[in-house]
Structure 1
Amino acid sequence: MRELTRTEAIDLVGRGDAEQELPEQMRADVRMLGSLLGRVLRESGSPGLYDDVERLRQATIAAYTDDSPEAFERAAAIAESFSVERADEVARAFTVYFHLVNLAEEHQRVRVLRERDGRPEKEDVTDSVAAAFVQLSAEVGDDTALKRLQSMRFHPVFTAHPTEARRRAVSTSIRRLVTLLGENDASLRGGADERRAQRRMLEEIDTLWRTAPLRAEKPTPVDEVRAIMAVFDETLYTAVPHVYRRVDDALQGPAAGGRAPVVRPFVRLGTWVGGDRDGNPFVTATVTKKAASIAAEHILLGLESSGDRIAKTLTLDADTTPPSEALTALAQRLAAADEDGAADVAKRAKGEPHKRVMLLLTRRIGATRRRDADLAYRDPVDLLADLRTVQDSLVAAGAPRQAYGHLQQLMWQVETFGFHLAELEVRQHSAVHAKVLEECRAGGPLSTQAEEVLEVFRTIAQIQRRYGPRAAGRYIVSFTQSAADLATVHELAGFAVGPGGTAPVLDVIPLFETFADLQAAPGIMAEIVSHPDFAARLDATDRRLEVMLGYSDSSKDVGPVAANLALYEAQALIAAWAQDAGIHLTLFHGRGGALGRGGGPANSAILAQPPHSVDGRFKLTEQGEVIFARYGDPAIAMRHIDQVAAAVLLASAPSIEQRNRAAAERFAPVAATMDTASRERFFSLVKNEGFAQWFATVTPMEEIGLLALGSRPARRGLSVESLEDLRAIPWVFAWSQARINLAGWFGLGTALDAVGDEDLLRSAYAEWPLFRTVIDNVGMSLAKADARIAQRYLDLGDRDDLATLVMDEMLLTQDWVIKITGGEGLLANKPVLQRAVKMRSPYVDALSLLQLRALRVLRTGESASDAPPEWQRLLLLSVSGVAAGLQNTG
């Protein structure tokens, strides 16, 4: 694509508004990458491809800035004129362009973060752990604030839900381009280094163009495990301890690094990848065991490498840095257990006792990885104790900077990741448990499904024995509807190990998903804690308990507005019950990436929670494209963790809790009106006879199921006869592809209209954090929608009544959101987000027009799988491209 002129660039981000323009460095990156892509299209594309891409690009830009039907029809006519082969190439070109724009935007974020870190005064960083600590200290005192900081937990849980539309090969190519952009920044303008960096970028973009954008077949659960490992290896292993270090530096100032840190590790990683078997028949006990093994291999390799690197720096002579008695005794024990290693180390570290011990410790870490029983550590606690002996000896010898430098970072890594890297969690549906328990009680031969369910408990026990008790043990029960659903898990574990056997240590976690289940949650929890197994576990964990809340199914059940209100109410009631019962509650938020599944900025959502529902502990699911967006780059990952942890720390400040409590009380009548009105409006759509079939017609829902996104099936049955058959992810994904995004906003316009008082709603936006979060998220959702394109999707069906209902609600919601937030359009109060959306929208429009053309062809056949393969491929290519352009799927 040719370089954008200045006029075109302004068109994309808001004509005449200088504040809305792209930052100069990012604009230069976009121009350069677009120019390189244009060159690739001319060199590697078929004859005339570049010109056709330009025609469609210019037409969609013109249609975006011109509301006339004629401008839109001109763009649509160009898309209709392409042969299917040409449309395929054009769709691929726009998809590559989105990948390049996305990486340019990510690179700009990193650039801004690094520039900010380079400034001596960072007055603008108000949402950091250090700033939150200062604010909390002012309210509760330094000692209390420090206790809360040291007991804080942020617990992201990576899931394998199929929401990452990019192939791993594409993602890897993009990461290489990010590195090259950095090299280009560091080079002299016009110099040999710049020319070399841009030549290599041209080569990489050509590779990206030639790489098949769609997976040939679905990944296996083990493939998904290995994909997640890339995030750990490239980012989290070093980024997490760097966050701790930054916070400690900010709190201790010049003394940091020369004395014991005040920060304790507050991040814990969880994973469902290889453990989530709810609706995924491909996740077996064998897969779960393999997932744990792969994760352990990665963390132990990392610890071994770090230990070796630190050992090489501890060249401290015994005369200047004498060993403590405890270190000498440790050295003797290690040498006695590893005579060959001791002989080798004695030569490499003569007169350097601390280096000698670190080398021997590193050999033990390697033995743990290789499962050498004679030398292996049984538990990460034992390794941590040995490292602490080294640290204490260094401090006693007057070498605190060596004690609290890289050695401290290694200790933080052991405390955070253990020998397991991420705490592997198992999830299964309550209905499956009930069926298997019935078989077990009957005493006859067990079905294959029952044998597999029981084998999972034996696998959990094996993982705990091998990698430590933290490696596995959380067992989540989907669709928990009674206390019996939770008690069943313990009974099944008993059947699995048999009489006299040792069952695994289990924390059984209910997952409340539907509207009715959320309302019943407090009563279920009050009942289950008296169960003997639950009571025993509460006693063993200082009365700690987790409860998981599902955002996706509740939103699909009653609509996004009523679901948000129900979730808030459930949290408030469960938190109040836990306070009264003396239970340390952790609420586990089952959020997705898209706004219709509880997505959106996590830090603002945390600060909008009910009093005592956070209390320094926040756990949530991270999935698909969100994992790589938040944790794929070290600088962005550190910033994200710092922001979320700051919100977790600050959420329990008296001022925040009082604000949320007062707002909930004041605006309770508004909430009640919105709840009733939004649910009635939502039901008028989804409970309309024939809705499910109509939905499958006017969106690419069926075709999304053909994409090889992940190992998990997209639906529970063979066909979609009702919404209950459809999983939440394709429900959200399909609406976003149709440029409607209905799952994120439908019913809000009617709800606001029912309240009707504009001044009251503006007050709610200013004073009620939950309401503000909902409105801001809907603003983003609607900004990514497009009424003209949405209408064309809705025209694919033969239900004008439903189409009119959707479009009327979209316009009503948009009008109310603009009134409440102020300004002349959506996201007027969020200029950075508005710029990002406007920059992409015309290009997304181009892909949507190509997708619509393919969809019309496919709708003439009997089913998606019977359609002409070339049109099906075009449809799937456009789905991948639109996902890249909108930067979210499900």
Structure 2
Amino acid sequence: MATTPQNRRSARSPAPAALLQTAGARNKSNGASKTAPIAKPIKSGDKDAPLKEDIRLLGRLLGEVLRDQEGDAVFEVVETIRQTAVRFRRESDAKAGAELDQLLKKLTRDQTNSVVRAFSYFSHLANIAEDQHHNRRRRAHLLAGSAAQPSSVAYALSRLDDAGVSGANVRAFLQEALISPVLTAHPTEVQRKSILDAEREIARLLATRDQPLTPRELRSNTELLRARITTLWQTRMLRYTKLTVADEIENALSYYRITFLRELPALYDDVEAEIDAQFPSRARARSNAADLPAFLQMGSWIGGDRDGNPNVNADTMQHALKRQSTTIFDFYLEEIHALGAELSISTLMVDASPALLALADRSPDASDHRSDEPYRRALIGIYARLAATARSLGVVNILRQEVGAAAHYGAPEECIAELQILAESLQANHGAALVKPRLAVLKRTVEIFGFHLATLDMRQSSDIHERVLAELFANAQVEGAYASLAEDKKIALLLSELGKPRLLHSPYLHYSDETNSELTILRTAREIRRRYGARAIRNYIISHTETVSDLLEVLLLQKETGLLHIEGNQLSELELMVIPLFETIPDLRLAAEIMREWMSLPQVARLIAKQGKLQEVMLGYSDSNKDGGFLTSNWELYKAENQLVELFNRIGVKLRLFHGRGGTVGRGGGPSYQAILAQPPGTVNGQIRLTEQGEIIASKFSNPEIGRRNLELLVAATLEASLMPQSTDAKEQRKLAEFEHVMEDLSERAYQAYRNLVYETPGFTDYFFAATPIAEIAQLNIGSRPASRKASRRIEDLRAIPWGFSWGQCRLLFPGWYGFGSAVAGWLEQSDSSKEKTRRLSTLRAMFKEWPFFAALLSNMDMVLSKTDLAVASRYAGLVADRKLRNAIFGRIVGEHERTSSILAQITGTKERLSGNPLLARSIKNRFAYLDPLNHLQVELLKRHRAIAAANRPPEERVQRGIHLTINGVAAGLRNTG
């Protein structure tokens, strides 16, 4: 509803006990309105009391902003909708449901958008408050001297120490380890950078309130919070133009500036300190810098992942590296400048090492004023060399001009060596205290990030490689029908061609745009490695790997573009590791056999030996789930990992698994710590990469302290999973074998139940497209990648990400639980007697208590079920016009939900969802009263939108915008299941 200035002036009165309200003040000096009502008293000793107060404060301020911006009438509409939705939820009140329908239908277009934004922003603000509370509780534990918490490095080292693992073994392990979170852009990232920036400032202001503040400071803080919330309200939540790859790159880089550039080096220091504290007999004399290598490094797919994204090409790769390089050089230059201000040390006061004096003499700085300040002169020289290096790599707009010209660095190691000279001189001349605050951290930062910031992975689908090589073979008159050859003939041809020094490609022949593009991309990768260093690009991932020839094709393409080197007729060095991605259920079942054939090829074995006898394999969680369902996907991944470990151990090659986990449980999401510990023994072994996708990046890394904690848990889990001794007890091995046998049976039953509904039930696709906002998600400007691989409605062609995202929006979260209930019920009912049924149930309970894999699986499913809401989902089912189809399919889903919930309760011994995580349970319960209206509004808007389309009228922009706003709000409210 449009409001007049007078409306807005009159809306400045305090908000009633209403939406988002609502807060009782912390005390009289908290800057809140004295007339704001006090909500329920908080119990003394309630650890969540500060969280409740923060949510109330933010809610009250949002309510004030809403009234101020939109007027009393809109505010009252919002509150009436909230109260009615709460009645509908808590009391299953049919009358409330009818009232809600009427309320929503009567909303004007402007009112609808205002209501949606109000509830959406409350979800966002509640997330900020929860993150702050996690930080607060962690700090409280540290201040109280509490025992180390699980998922901390201190806890992991304590467990290792108790198990007899020495500090020397831990250090040796980290020398060879690689832990790499890989940021990816996917079409579930619904947040604009402008919104993220405003929310980060709100988080900072909220954290400040935990400090002792004077009444004036507290009042000022409250005013700033209200101002930032006003900024949110007046900022466009949605993109009106399609997100580009360049936009995705910038979004990702913001997390480096906020979190990674400072928190990652700081984490290394924490790990060093914890090792020394846990193993004091092994503690080293602390020197200028710790000796841990860069075992934790960042990766990225943004700008290099071409699979299904026609917008990624050679130019986006170059742009990605240029922007990454600019980001890291901006940071280095700023830090060097700050160091120059700090290290004002004079040789009139203290000596300096000959090496430092020589470094200072090479500086372009010839000022007499600094003739006795060699550290400053040396840093001016380092600054000049860094600036020259940045310019050579395409960085422009360097803010501070260097004093004079200097030669650029050939590699990061040269810069590290010069920083080491400064550190050693300080150490030797009474300046050790000056090393750690900034110099040692900067040196560590260069070791971690180099001149490239993050390793950019390349990914493309195997069918593209086949088409390109088919054209190359045909044009070179080597083989006119490569794609139709049998697999053994393909392998023979590829190996033969790999052994020849000549190239297939000719500059004098014409090739398709696709072939030219693919070859240009690989040549660009070679140039990027030359300019930015070998760590800039070092992996080539092959989607839909189904055969050995899929891998050999990428070897040959690298040979064609100078990335595979040959000496004589022998393959000598491979610049990009060829990494298969096994995604579907059939592919996972063939993974070990394909890798056995691949690594048994003599030519390949030589290349792997040159890679340090290391080979990476990527496993896809999303597509395997869409293909076979939650239970079968997890089980086939588990089996594939076990088979790969056995194979790699047998042939003496180290396995590095790359886990393509999504944000939702249906795509392999869930708590990372538990997920890593639940991996089969031997699968981590100090080598692990995993994707961080879509909205989960913001959830984990937009707050620096939360980000550091998430990075720490990756290190802690990798240490535990890799170094904790594995039991060799024969009895336990037999029990594990029994558990695995049961899982095999359950998986097959779950697979049949899932496939029968999704792929074998007539009309299921029509139901899915009608009962979820999948079509509208595909239109939303939330990613540079299309929602489907092909222009079809086939579920097989739909990307797994929007598949899971859609089920989350309608609150069924179907991919995270469907099939489990049928599988277990069928297995139990197969029993010949009640005694046998009781024994089988006891086996499942033992699996839950004793097997980390099964415990993590049920824990994730429990969380998904806690966010599933059949009452809300039923309103989406009402969008299906065919009543018979609607009742049949929704009825089956409801039945499976009831079976799954009942079985889960029998196994875990509790009917309460999230009984082991009461904080999350309370969080979900509290936010649903504000999330439900968004779902109800989304249903109403979908009806309007589809009615307009059915009448062949042009779409109404405000209706579309309202749908997209609800998608944003629901995703924010559900967090890791959005």
Classify the TM-score, shorter chain: over 0.9
The AA in structure 2 aligned to 1:484 is S
Give a deviation string over 1:477-519, Cα, whole Å, max 9, x none. 1011111111111211232349999997111111110111111
Return the alpha-carbon distance in structure 2 between the equivalents of residues 741 and 498 of structure 1: 44
- Kept in 2: contact 1:257–1:401 (CA 8 A): no
Give a deviation string over 1:580-618, Cα, whole Å, max 9, x none. 222121100001111110000001011111111000122
Shift of 1:16: 12
Match in the other structure for 2:236: 212
The AA in structure 2 aligned to 1:221 is V
Return the alpha-carbon distance in structure 2 between the equivalents of residues 461 and 319 of structure 1: 50
The AA in structure 2 aligned to 1:506 is L
Shift of 1:20: 12
Shift of 1:101: 1.3
Match in the other structure for 2:742: 670
**Is residue 522 of structure 2 the alignment partner of residue 457 of structure 1?**
yes
**Is residue 901 of structure 2 the alignment partner of residue 814 of structure 1?**
yes
- Which segment drifts farther, 615-624 or 752-761? 752-761
The AA in structure 2 aligned to 1:887 is R
2:546 pairs with 481, 492, 505, which one?
481
Could you tell me which runs of 5 or more consecutive residues in structure 2 were left unpaired when the two chains were aligned: 1-14, 25-39, 394-404, 476-508, 568-572, 829-839
* Shift in CA distance, 17/725, structure 1 to aligned 2, threshold 3 Å: farther
Give a deviation string over 1:229-287, Cα, whole Å, max 9, x none. 11001111000011111222233359888435354433110000111111111111011
Matches within 5 A, 1:302-317: 302-317=331-346
**Is residue 930 of structure 2 the alignment partner of residue 843 of structure 1?**
yes
The AA in structure 2 aligned to 1:758 is L
Matches within 5 A, 1:99-114: 99-114=124-139
1:879 pairs with 930, 954, 967, which one?
967
Matches within 5 A, 1:3-18: 3=17
Match in the other structure for 1:705: 778
SS in 1 for 2:722: coil
Return the alpha-carbon distance in structure 2 between the equivalents of residues 865 and 568 of structure 1: 51
Return the alpha-carbon distance in structure 2 between the equivalents of residues 146 and 661 of structure 1: 30
Return the alpha-carbon distance in structure 1 between the equivalents of residues 19 and 540 of structure 2: 56
The AA in structure 2 aligned to 1:413 is T
Larger RCO (CA within 8 A; separation ≥ 6): 1
**Is residue 88 of structure 2 the alignment partner of residue 63 of structure 1?**
yes
Shift of 1:711: 0.6
Matches within 5 A, 1:7-86: 23-86=48-111
- Which segment drifts farther, 740-749 or 360-369? 360-369
Return the alpha-carbon distance in structure 2 between the equivalents of residues 597 and 258 of structure 1: 44
The AA in structure 2 aligned to 1:371 is S
The AA in structure 1 aligned to 2:77 is D
**Is residue 591 of structure 2 the alignment partner of residue 570 of structure 1?**
no
Match in the other structure for 1:583: 653
Shift of 1:166: 1.7
Shift of 1:97: 1.4
**Is residue 217 of structure 2 the alignment partner of residue 193 of structure 1?**
yes
Shift of 1:6: 13
2:940 pairs with 853, 856, 862, which one?
853
The AA in structure 1 aligned to 2:339 is I
Match in the other structure for 1:802: 889
Match in the other structure for 1:719: 792
- Which segment drifts farther, 865-874 or 479-488? 865-874
- Which segment drifts farther, 388-397 or 96-105? 388-397
* Shift in CA distance, 22/130, structure 1 to aligned 2, threshold 3 Å: closer
- Which segment drifts farther, 821-830 or 246-255? 246-255
SS in 1 for 2:538: strand
- Which segment drifts farther, 53-62 or 306-315? 306-315
SS in 1 for 2:691: strand
- Kept in 2: contact 1:552–1:728 (CA 8 A): yes
Give a deviation string over 1:84-114, Cα, whole Å, max 9, x none. 4322221111111111111111222222233
* Shift in CA distance, 888/3, structure 1 to aligned 2, threshold 3 Å: farther
Match in the other structure for 2:755: 683
Match in the other structure for 2:484: none
Shift of 1:861: 5.0
Return the alpha-carbon distance in structure 2 between the equivalents of residues 498 and 417 of structure 1: 23
% identical aligned pairs? 34
2:366 pairs with 343, 360, 365, which one?
343
Return the alpha-carbon distance in structure 2 between the equivalents of residues 514 and 19 of structure 1: 52
2:824 pairs with 748, 752, 767, which one?
752
Give a deviation string over 1:446-492, Cα, whole Å, max 9, x none. 11111110011111111111111111121111011111111111211
Shift of 1:61: 2.2
Return the alpha-carbon distance in structure 2 between the equivalents of residues 627 and 247 of structure 1: 23
Match in the other structure for 2:504: none
**Is residue 413 of structure 2 the alignment partner of residue 390 of structure 1?**
no
Return the alpha-carbon distance in structure 1 between the equivalents of residues 169 and 109 of structure 2: 66
Give a deviation string over 1:636-684, Cα, whole Å, max 9, x none. 1111111121010010234456699666423022201211110010011
Match in the other structure for 1:635: 705
Match in the other structure for 1:621: 691
* Shift in CA distance, 739/663, structure 1 to aligned 2, threshold 3 Å: farther
- Kept in 2: contact 1:461–1:504 (CA 8 A): no
- Kept in 1: contact 2:337–2:383 (CA 8 A): yes
SS in 2 for 1:343: coil
- Kept in 1: contact 2:179–2:715 (CA 8 A): yes
User: How big is the alpha-carbon RMSD for the aligned residues of Structure 1 and Structure 2?
Assistant: 2.9
Shift of 1:536: 4.0
2:188 pairs with 153, 158, 163, which one?
163
* Shift in CA distance, 833/576, structure 1 to aligned 2, threshold 3 Å: same
**Is residue 317 of structure 2 the alignment partner of residue 288 of structure 1?**
yes
Match in the other structure for 1:203: 227
Shift of 1:72: 4.0
Shift of 1:79: 2.8
Shift of 1:538: 1.9
Return the alpha-carbon distance in structure 2 between the equivalents of residues 500 and 38 of structure 1: 65
SS in 1 for 2:366: helix
SS in 1 for 2:581: strand
Match in the other structure for 2:560: 495
The AA in structure 2 aligned to 1:557 is D
The AA in structure 2 aligned to 1:367 is A
Match in the other structure for 1:87: 112
- Kept in 2: contact 1:184–1:193 (CA 8 A): no
Return the alpha-carbon distance in structure 2 between the equivalents of residues 423 and 661 of structure 1: 40
* Shift in CA distance, 209/405, structure 1 to aligned 2, threshold 3 Å: closer
Larger Rg computed on CA atoms: 2
The AA in structure 2 aligned to 1:749 is G
* Shift in CA distance, 20/50, structure 1 to aligned 2, threshold 3 Å: farther
Could you tell me which runs of 5 or more consecutive residues in structure 1 were left unpaired when the two chains were aligned: none
Match in the other structure for 1:512: 582
- Kept in 2: contact 1:53–1:90 (CA 8 A): yes
Give a deviation string over 1:93-138, Cα, whole Å, max 9, x none. 111111111111122222223333444x231424321321232133
Match in the other structure for 2:481: none
Match in the other structure for 1:736: 808
User: What TM-score, normalized to structure 1?
Assistant: 0.93
- Kept in 2: contact 1:80–1:850 (CA 8 A): no
1:429 pairs with 442, 447, 461, which one?
461
The AA in structure 2 aligned to 1:635 is E
Match in the other structure for 2:485: none
- Kept in 1: contact 2:105–2:940 (CA 8 A): yes
Return the alpha-carbon distance in structure 2 between the equivalents of residues 238 and 7 of structure 1: 36
Give a deviation string over 1:400-457, Cα, whole Å, max 9, x none. 3334553221121111111100001111100011001111122252111111100111
- Kept in 2: contact 1:61–1:842 (CA 8 A): yes
* Shift in CA distance, 801/226, structure 1 to aligned 2, threshold 3 Å: same
Give a deviation string over 1:824-866, Cα, whole Å, max 9, x none. 4211221011011111112111111111112223343556995
